[in-house]
Structure 1
């Protein structure tokens, strides 16, 4: 339906047939949220809410672009820019994502001629599903096919990341662009060489519940990053900090070798920090440690109760015991770690709101095995893992009754793909 829609929009606007149509998925920020910009691995799920871009070459050096979603909202929906010198317009203009992607290609040595482009997206904006990355990846993917650039999925992800992070100056990590480009359930290593590992399927059903509360990565990430920087500065000023720990730290949030730090050794020093930096660094270490355990479970290894208590804490023992006793213990344990990571996002990273908690409580009561924030937080979407379609439908109804403005039962979906 969306493929047909974008082709019809293209024909109506430009009076021609598109030469290429490419789509890319939105993604669920599944595990290790807010860790990609620190160089830690993250887990993404590409889903069947997609952005479609139809393109056609034209004479000259001008790109003419329309957004059907913005047109439907009654907003300014046309953009036009030079493919040789694509300057950013500013003011959160939608066309800047496309101008930045075009500039990203130019900076890597690719030359483009003029083109028409029509965009239609199923991915809701500012809902924690990486709508901007789906736009960037589908747009670069479309230009790749149209101009036969020979880009791989990794190339497309890196070009999209460069466009958003470096050219637009948005402090994102690589999760969104890689999650959209590759699709599926993947572990993304966010330090060079930025490898991607495909993970086994998870035998459950995901539900996305949109709170309708808009958020902006650009407003959230820098504050948390600054808190971590302050904590690192204070740790490095502690004269009694052991040298082996000191060598693993750094002054900026992306410099420490986080995965090599031992929480038990570092905690006495973390506990001497002011409250906010203390909680931000604890979040980083605890969330990563629980993600490693979740990856073991996804790959088929079931930890013992004591192993899980060591990672999650004794206050989670009751939930751990219950999950291990369930017939669907793999799903139950993954859901439990989703719950644990949500609590960390709420209590240590200050990213929840009363409205989100009401939706989450309703989803849990309706049978969700786990529910957590997806994306930057302070609004956007929650994601739930359920045992089957029937439970997913109950969870979605409960979420809507509790204040979610919309929601979807989603399937794991492919990455960037040519549709025609």
Structure 2
């Protein structure tokens, strides 16, 4: 039997930055996608998605089928076949988990990473495969294969685990201290609008940058400073100026958070202030936070949460609260009384 367990992901700083080649700070938490596989005589992968009550079969012999959008199972197989992997032994595979679906905790990326780990595990000749390579293949299978508008943060965080500062140009990761204290995740009950929010945010930010480069070809976003916001503002068309602001200032927030999280004893109040600044930009500039979720987070802060932010691309999904040593039950109650679907404590993995 093969058993695989893959964690959820939370982006703490740098939302809507990875597709611009800017860094992010993300970490894995103790919510999981689980996969269990047992060999069978039939030359097929018989897959059961227990939470969705779905079943399907992937034949391992015969003519290859056209791969439809979001079929990450077949895209993963295709990518690894291109790498020389072979699949002949059949398996009955069950997949389940406690990561909320379409809620910002990267359930889909966790599923893809679990699937890639399974495909590697069934190879008859075992050879060392790094977590970074698993991340690359998962990113290919989920994003590049289907030309989707996401970046690499989700797959690279989930495959490597822990709290990471990720250079999204190179994929290079720096391990950070877990200095965020006690954490709550609240499920809003509102479905996330991943593709529409990502597509608009990405296009607007990239158009803002392109307008600057049309005048200043030497412009490098990775070297941008707060002073550059005003310097280039008049070049950016009005409709893209909010996303230009978000690109510059969220980058500065992420760098400041990294600096703090490299210390042995990070300043939680400083990190909370940076997170609240980040959320304000997300809701007022990128406008990815529904009013209902803003009200939930405000209630949580009034109840004692040090900081709150939306998780993931936005439009719905989950929220994160830094609670420090404050009354965690009071903060949970504040979320629930403002109609959050569920609230629970999470821990960052190692």
The residue that corresponds to 1:247 in the other structure is 218
The residue that corresponds to 1:373 in the other structure is 310
Paired residue for 2:254, among 291, 294, 308? Answer: 291
Aligned 8 A contact 1:36 1:174 in 2: yes
TM-score by length of 1: 0.77
TM-score by length of 2: 0.92
Question: For residues 50 and 139 of structure 1, do their structure 2 counterparts lie closer, same or farther at Cα, with a shift above 3 Å needed?
Answer: same
Q: Distance in 2 between matches of 1:344 and 1:203?
A: 20
Aligned 8 A contact 1:358 1:403 in 2: no
Q: Distance in 2 between matches of 1:107 and 1:392?
A: 49
Bigger Rg, structure 1 or 2: 1
1:296: Cα distance to partner? 1.3
Paired residue for 2:332, among 374, 380, 396? Answer: 396
Tell me whether 1:224 sits opposite 2:229 in the alignment. no
The residue that corresponds to 1:322 in the other structure is none
Q: Distance in 2 between matches of 1:217 and 1:277?
A: 20
Q: Distance in 2 between matches of 1:265 and 1:285?
A: 8
The residue that corresponds to 1:6 in the other structure is none
* Aligned 1:2-401 pairs, distance under 5 A: 19-59=1-41, 61-71=43-53, 77-83=54-60, 85=64, 87-90=66-69, 96-113=71-88, 114-147=90-123, 148=126, 150-192=128-170, 194-202=171-179, 204-238=181-215, 245-248=216-219, 257-300=220-263, 330-388=267-325, 391-401=327-337
1:228: Cα distance to partner? 2.3
Unaligned runs of 5+ in 2: none
Aligned 8 A contact 1:206 1:392 in 2: no
Q: Distance in 2 between matches of 1:86 and 1:299?
A: 48
Cα deviation digits, residues 377-401 of structure 1 (max 9, x gap): 111111111113x633322221111
Cα deviation digits, residues 306-357 of structure 1 (max 9, x gap): xxxxxxxxxxxxxxxxxxxxxxx81111111110000001111111111111
The structure 1 segments of at least 4 consecutive aligned residues displaced by more than 4 Å after TM superposition are: none
Q: Distance in 1 between matches of 2:345 and 2:310?
A: 16
Larger % of helix: which?
Answer: 1
Cα deviation digits, residues 214-253 of structure 1 (max 9, x gap): 1232222121222123323433444xxxxxx5312xxxxx
1:372: Cα distance to partner? 0.7
1:116: Cα distance to partner? 1.9
Q: Distance in 1 between matches of 2:331 and 2:250?
A: 25
Question: For residues 383 and 370 of structure 1, do their structure 2 counterparts lie closer, same or farther at Cα, with a shift above 3 Å needed?
Answer: same
The residue that corresponds to 1:3 in the other structure is none
Q: Matched residue of 1:164: which SS?
A: helix
1:149: Cα distance to partner? 5.1
**Mean Cα deviation higher: 275-284 or 341-350:** 275-284
Q: Distance in 2 between matches of 1:58 and 1:186?
A: 39
Query: How many residue pairs align between the two structures?
Result: 345
Q: Matched residue of 2:108: which SS?
A: helix
Question: For residues 83 and 342 of structure 1, do their structure 2 counterparts lie closer, same or farther at Cα, with a shift above 3 Å needed?
Answer: farther
